[in-house]
Amino acid sequence: MNKEPRPRVAIVGGGLSGLAAAYFLKKKGTEVTVYEKTSEVGGKLARVIVDGVSIDTGALLYSKELNPNFDVLINELGVECERRYLNTFALQIEDKITALNPLALAKSRLFSFGEFLKWRKVKKFINSLSFDLDEVDERIDKLHQISLEKYLRDVGFRQELIDSFFRAFCSFAYVDGAKDLAADFGLFLLAFPLKTIMAPVKGMSEVALELKRRLGDSVRLNTRVVNISQNLDRTFTVRTEKEGKVSEETFDYCILATGRRNFKNIFPEVDFEIEITKARGVILESDCPTYKKYNVLIISKYKNEHGVQGGKIKHLPDGRSFYGMMLYRPDADLGKVFGKHKVHHRFGWSPAMAWMSPGCKIPDVKTNISKCFVIGDFDHYPGVEPCIFAAQKAVKSILKETTS
């Protein structure tokens, strides 16, 4: 008896979700090809080398409690990680800098005594919520119908505090204010520093590089997907271009892990709506003693004239400090924060990140095109977890069809 041929799966995009999907499929014996238009994999976990210094350009940290699927993957890959503590985070609001640990916040005068007690109650409520993507807490669904701003106002926080302290966390979702962010999404962001925070010793880009190593020749770099079409037999023709040479291949399944703006260009028949944001970024070198004891900087956008949001700081033995920054505005005045500095590299950060506005529909990975899936950072909460979760959902659908 002849065995059925193994299905072939095309994955467009070499970010975390695309690489994870390829890894899970290959483990089950499925033939995969990952197309990545740039010279290296990673997406939001990408890395650049500046003057011999490795800089991660996107995600920095993860939580063992809030990112359980990612935690399983990172341990399976054997990526060495270490715990990070809140006193390495610097929160800057206007000209005031404070660490994010409870003692420093209590002394910061950002909160009145009454507000500080309310914040403790909010933290207790956040810790009682289950952010498990596999089985959503009913309270989470209710919180999704209102904004983070409404939730915080109902708690009793004054608007200035919402716009300064809480907005600093909202800034990582690239929205203008807490009113634009669903409360469940916002409370997930606020839950992050309340949990066990981990970081790969060599940076988050190490996860993407290890996935690439395990996938081997299945990953094709510098290969741009020109367009995709579905044939009458429900297979897909993927046309690619590399170094001026155009070629075509046929696949049984297609997974799009590129962000809506990109996949609508290459496969316009796909009807899939997610709200995508894209922020400008910059890597710079500076000698700024103010931040010498901090690893991560968070700057509120409230009353913010310089346009800086925040990012990872890497201090070198020779006195230099490198900053992988995420900027709120392209005309940001970096000198107001860092004084004398040198810009080394600019990048567009997180092209596929999605944010959830109050009451919006949470999309699934299935599309109107049979055997075509969309995966990425759009399932309930921000960060690496929905990338893995969405990849697993697409993989399970493919394996269910091909093994039944």
In this predicted structure, the answer to whether residue 325 has a pLDDT above a threshold of 90 is no
Q: Which residue is it, tokens 């006195």?
A: 319
- pLDDT, position 223: 97
Alpha-carbon span 86 to 104, nearest angstrom: 10
Average pLDDT over residues 24-36: 97
Contact 164, 110 (CB under 8 A): yes
Beta-sheet strand order (sheet of 236-242): 224-230, 236-242, 245-251
- pLDDT, position 387: 92
- pLDDT, position 383: 81
By mean pLDDT, which of 18-32, 53-67, 199-213, 228-242 is the weakest?
Answer: 53-67
- pLDDT, position 1: 40
- Is-above-0.85 flag for pTM? yes
- Per residue in 118-160, pLDDT tens? 999 999 999 999 998 888 889 999 999 999 999 999 999 998 8
Average pLDDT over residues 25-48: 92
By mean pLDDT, which of 25-34, 75-84, 181-190, 284-293 is the weakest?
Answer: 284-293
By mean pLDDT, which of 19-33, 183-197, 218-232 is the weakest?
Answer: 183-197
- pLDDT, position 210: 97
Alpha-carbon span 393 to 378, nearest angstrom: 13
> What is the C-alpha radius of gyration for the chain, rounded to an integer number of angstroms?
22
Average pLDDT over residues 47-63: 85
Strand duo 245-251 + 253-256: pairing: unpaired
* Confidence category of residue 2, pLDDT binned at 50, 70, 90: very low
- Per residue in 197-252, pLDDT tens? 999 999 899 999 999 999 999 999 999 999 999 999 999 999 999 999 999 999 99
* Confidence category of residue 258, pLDDT binned at 50, 70, 90: confident
Q: What is the mean pLDDT of the chain?
A: 88
- pLDDT, position 5: 72
Q: What is the DSSP string of 326-345?
A: EES-TT--THHHHSSEEEEE
Alpha-carbon span 324 to 322, nearest angstrom: 7
* Confidence category of residue 176, pLDDT binned at 50, 70, 90: low
Contact 251, 373 (CB under 8 A): no
Average pLDDT over residues 369-379: 91
| pLDDT > 70 fraction of the chain, expressed in percent and rounded | 92
Buried b (16+ CB within 10 A) or exposed e, 359-376: ebebbebebebebbbbbb
